[in-house]
Structures are given as structure tokens and as C-alpha cells.
Amino acid sequence: MRVYDRLRQKFVALTPEEWVRLHFVAHLIDGLGFPEGLLANEVAISLNGTSRRCDTVYYAKEGLRPVAIMEYKAPHVKITQRVFDQISRYNMVLQVPWLFVSNGLEHYCCRVDYAAGRCVFLKDLPRCEDVTLL
């Protein structure tokens, strides 16, 4: 089965992870006010000479600078430290202040406090107007 990805504007295979991505992106846009035009799926990055893909990246209006990375897992995949390690490695390249992780059942968001060298986890997913460059 194939489903339409509104960000990539094409049909893609419906895998469990893709189901999470499509629903999370819809919630970002329709529920939390993220502009569709500032979100991109499957963003290619180079990490230590290896090609990787961020599941979704949110960009600032100012200069289209990356602001947030979203990482998705299938619903049966438990969100563990390993998942946060993966998104943290991606962030070594993009240097964004916001990280989101979801398996469709559990959702996490943290703000990276570079000055203090720590991540601050939020109780709830933030609305778009709260996800800014720091």
C-alpha cells in the first residue's frame, strides 16, 4: 500500500514508521501550527562521511536555517536512549535547538541548551510559535 506524503508531494510505501511520520507531521501542521512550507521530510545530511537522513526538519523563516529535527520510530519500537543518541548524532551536523522523537504512541521534545550543555525536556509538545532559534 502507498500513501501520499504532503511534504515530499509524492506517494510512498506505507511502513509502520511512515505511518508515524505522516500522522506526526499532520499534527505539527494542523494541531500545533507549523507552516507546511517550512517542514521537509527525509533531509539528507553527511555524518562522518556517511549519508544519513533526518526524518523531518523544521526550518526558520529567517534564512531557512534548521530549527528542529524530528525522529520517528515504528509504534512497536520503544523510545530508548539509543533513539536519543541517534538524533543527537544528527544534531552534531545541524546544530538545532529543538529535538522531537515519536513512535506514534510516545512523544518527546527537548530544547538543547548549548550554553549549559544539557537538554531540557518539555512536558508537552510545543506550538510552532514557541519553537524558535535561541
Residue 113 phi/psi, 5-degree rounding, is -100, 95
pTM (predicted TM-score):
0.94
Whichever domain contains 31, its CATH number is: 3.90.1570.30
Closest-CA residue to 91 (of 121, 61, 112, 65): 112
Residue 77: what pLDDT? 97
* Count of the separate structural domains present in the chain: 1
pLDDT digits (tens, 9 = 90+) for 35-80: 999 999 999 999 889 999 999 999 998 768 999 999 999 999 999 9
- The parent domain of residue 11 ranges over 2-130
Instruction: Write the CB contacts of 101 (distance below 8 Å, at least 6 apart in sequence).
Output: 70, 71, 72, 73, 79, 83, 84, 87, 107, 108, 109
